[in-house]
Structure 1
């Protein structure tokens, strides 16, 4: 009971601090004779125990919302990325349909560059944040690339894995894995390594077998936490061979990583 009231008190304090920040922002706007359009302001309440505080901007209440788009990524109050999957797959399929209707050639030299330029970026934008982990979502996204490879002349009727091998492509699952590891390299050994201690602390020396540069793996009771980028990436990074992890530059790392991933999964 004490813990329960303690959580409620902390939530109440957090709501009050946020309202004070909004008041300061509104005061700054009034002082500089500016105006906020409160119709475009929303509150997204996160967490099961959220007390759903109401907030004000000046004399106007800020409306609450169940989902919000930020930098083209849709986030809902349950941190369920289902809407993001649907929007991404729908947009990519529409682009692929446009290519199918407007381009008469089915040559590999034509379809692959169009796919890589117009479709693939949609499937990989900010994917470190919203990467799917349920099988149905993984399969739905993978179907986009299946469809694209099936459009290419000479690939119809062949198994998907053979198409990927012949076209020198990774599956989208492997592409997401590669993107995670490239980002980890930048944050731990590349030009952004100043963030390493915050996001990817090193493991204690006594358990740094294998690649010699292991990251600390945390344990969580909730399955959803296991799929966070800073958690899932640690586990994969620690399984990489030593020669991949200790690559001197990002370019060399990508080449060694591609060679390693070509033989796994």
Structure 2
């Protein structure tokens, strides 16, 4: 797979074991559908299709079940399809954000058993006290950033991040990082440039949370 933004792509053959490797525009890798344009449209199409199928299954089998059981089925069997590796594929376009949120909107109707077209689904989600999937993805990115910052996972922050320069500004904190400049959107909305901007808005007491669980709870209550 050749990943480039060039209009005139340099065509080069690659060999492995004496055989010429075929060229593809997309390929599944560790549960993600990677494309040569770094667009997540194909991946989001795939996960929303799987989530829709699972939602249809539980709707057929749990139609008469209590609300609590329906909700747990959605949380356990549907929502994971929409959140696996979301720190990688978290899209910034309104179209793709809405495509994912529509699954949760249909799930809210199912859980409450309310299919009246004139009823507000936004009100239903509020009644259920569900957080939007977009905000959950933001929280997941910040939790990953916390683990990287505190070196709790095998990603060296020094390879990707630069500490904010000390200053007398009230917004300065040694746990914050310099904003990462990006020339193109595909990089601007990738994990590090995007999450650093979110990370720097967090107050000092959250940035210095002693445990991942404490940080997770503080972020969830903030966003």
TM-score under structure 1 normalisation?
0.76
Deviations 1:158-177 (A, max 9, x none): 53343333223210011001
Does 1:256 find its partner at 2:192?
no
**Cα shift at 1:80:** 1.4
Answer whether contact 1:129 1:228 (CA < 8 A) is retained: yes
Q: Identify the structure with bigger relative contact order (alpha carbons < 8 Å, sequence gap 6+).
A: 2
Structure 1 position 211, deviation (Å): 6.5
User: How many residues in Structure 1 have an aligned counterpart in Structure 2?
Assistant: 218
Distance in 2 between residues matched to 1:146 and 1:78, nearest whole Å: 30
Q: Counterpart of 2:111?
A: 152
Distance 1:77 1:190 in 2: 31
* Contact map agreement 1:210 1:242 (CA 8 A) in 2: no
More helix by share: 1
Find the counterpart in structure 1 of residue 138 from structure 2.
177
**Segment of structure 1 superposing worse, 250-259 or 47-56:** 47-56
SS in 1 for 2:79: helix
Q: Secondary structure at the match of 1:100?
A: helix
Quick one: distance in 2 between partners of 1:208 and 1:90?
48
Matched position secondary structure for 1:79: coil
SS of alignment partner, residue 22 of structure 2:
strand
Using the alignment, how far apart are the partners of 2:151 and 2:127 within structure 1? Answer: 33
Is 1:46 matched with 2:3?
Answer: yes
Deviations 1:164-193 (A, max 9, x none): 332232100110010011100111025238
For the structure 1 residues 53 and 194, does the alpha-carbon distance in structure 2 shift closer, same or farther, using more than 3 Å as the test?
closer
Distance 1:105-1:241 versus aligned 2 partners, 3 A rule = farther
Deviation, structure 1 residue 201: 2.6
Offset from partner CA, 1:98-143 (integer Å, 9 cap, x none): 1111113353211111111111111011111111111111001000
Shift of 1:208: 6.5
1:119 matched to 2:81? The reply is no
Is it true that 1:232 corresponds to 2:194 in the alignment? yes
- Separation in 2, partners of 1:173, 1:240: 18
CA distance in 2: counterparts of 1:207 and 1:190, whole angstroms: 27
Counterpart pick for 1:135 among 67, 78, 94 = 94
Does residue 203 of structure 1 match 2:164?
A: yes
Task: Indicate how the Cα distance of structure 1 residues 243 and 225 shifts in structure 2: closer, same or farther if over 3 A, else same.
Answer: same
Instruction: Could you tell me which runs of 5 or more consecutive residues in structure 2 were left unpaired when the two chains were aligned.
Output: none
- The equivalent of 1:222 in structure 2 is 184
2:74–2:107 contact (8 Å) kept in structure 1: yes
Match of 1:166 in 2: 127
CA contact (8 A) 1:190 1:249 kept: no
Q: Is the partner of 1:95 in helix, strand or coil?
A: helix
Aligned residue in 1 for 2:149: 188
Q: Distance in 2 between matches of 1:89 and 1:76?
A: 17
